[in-house]
Amino acid sequence: MASFTRRAFLSLALRAGAAAALGAALGCRRGMQPLPVVTIQGAPSPPSLALLRVAQRGVPRELAGDARFQVWSTVDEMRARITSGQAHFSGLPVNVAATLYNRGVEVQLLNVYIWGILYLVSPEPSINSLADLRGETVLIPFRGDLPDILTQYLLQRAGLNLAEDLKPSYLSAAPEAAQLLAAGRARYAVLSEPSATLAIQKAQQNGITLYRSLDYAQAWAAATRRRARIPMAGVAAHPDVARTRPELLDWFQSAHRDAVPWVAAHADEATQAGAEAIHAIPPAVMRDSLTHIQSTFEEAGTVRAEIEFFLSEMHALSPELIGGRLPPDGFYG
C-alpha cells in the first residue's frame, strides 16, 4: 500500500470541481432513474475477490443497469476514480479512507472486512515478538505507510525504537522484498498477503524454507490486550452515492456481506474468477494466500470503536497516515 503523498493531496483538490458537478447530477436523479452502471473498484489482490463476486452477481434493475468491477493498479489511480466520480464503491485501506475524508473527499466507510493480512516472513518458524529482532536487518516496503508505522508501533510497545534497535531497509515495492527473501539475500521482511505467499512459494523453488513467523494481528493483540484483529481494509462509498442513493448502499452491504464468506468457502471458484480479472498475481499464489487473510464482514458503524482505536494509535505515530485527525461522525454514515 502506498502512502498518501502531498502531491496526491494537491491532485485531489484539482479534481474536486468535477466531483462536485457529478454530485449535483446524482442529486437530481435521487429516487428517479437507475444508474447506467455501478462501478466497484478494488486492489489487485485477493481481498478484491469478494468485490468481484458482488459485481458478477449483478445489481437489481431498479438500482442500476449493470455492475462492473475494476482493478486499480496504483493507489493514486484509486483516489482519482473516487474524486472524479468514476467509482461508486471502493475497496481500500481504512487509513486511506480516513485521509480522503479529512482532505475533503467525504467518502462514507461502509464496512471493514480485512482484519489480518500482514506478517513478518523469515526462515525461522516462529518469532515471539518483533523485539526478538534487535540488531537485525528487516525489509519494509513503503516507508511511512501502514506496514512501517505498525512495525514502529509494535516495537514502541515493547520499549524499542525501529531506527535505533533494528536495521530497517526500506523498499519501494513488496515484490522486491519477496524476491530478496526467496533468493536468500535477506532474512526478515514485513509483507502483506499475497506478497508473503509469493515469497514463500518462490523460496521453496530455490530450496529455501520461509515461514510467516509472526502474525501482526496476534502481535497487535499482545501489545494492546485487544482482539487479535486490526481494521485494515474495507469499502467506502462515493460521497454523492452515500448522500443520494440509500437503496444502493443497502444492496451493496447485503451483497458484500454474502460475498466475503462465499470467497472463503469457495476458494477455487473465486480464484478462477479472479484470475480473469486480476492478472498481477499468479492463481496459485492467490489461492494459497486466501487462508492467511482474516476476512470478516463488519458494518463500519458497528465496529467504530475498534476503528477509532486503531486510527488514534496510528495517528499518535504518524498523523499524516490518517489525514491529520480522527474523521467525524459523517465518515461512518
CATH class as words, domain 118-224:
alpha beta
6-115+232-332: CATH class: alpha beta
What is the pLDDT at residue 280?
Answer: 86
Which residues of 117-232 form beta strands (DSSP E)? 118-122, 137-141, 167-171, 189-192, 211-215
Query: What would the mean pLDDT of 140-163 be, rounded to a whole number?
Result: 95
Cβ burial of 158 (10 Å; 0-12, 13-18, 19+) is middle
pLDDT at position 31: 53
In percent, the amount of the chain with pLDDT more than 90 equals 87
CA nearest to 210, candidates 124, 105, 318: 124
Query: Mean pLDDT over all residues of the chain?
Result: 91
Q: What pLDDT does 74 receive?
A: 87
The string of pLDDT tens digits covering residues 5-46 is 444 444 444 444 444 434 433 443 445 599 999 999 999 999
pLDDT in tens, 162-183: 999 999 999 999 999 999 999 9
236 pLDDT exceeds 90?
Answer: yes
331 in Cβ contact with 140 (< 8 Å)? no
Question: Would you list the domain boundaries of the chain?
Answer: 6-115+232-332, 118-224
Residue entry with cell 491532485: 11
* Helix runs in 119-173, H state only: 146-157, 162-165
**Pairwise CA distance, residues 194 & 196, whole Å:** 5
Q: Is the pTM of this model over 0.75?
A: yes
Cα–Cα distance between 303 and 300 in angstroms, integer?
A: 5
Tell me, yes or no, if the two domains 6-115+232-332 and 118-224 fold the same way. Answer: yes
| pLDDT number for residue 32 | 52
Residue 120 phi, psi dihedral angles, 5° rounding = -95, 120
pLDDT for the residue numbered 251: 98
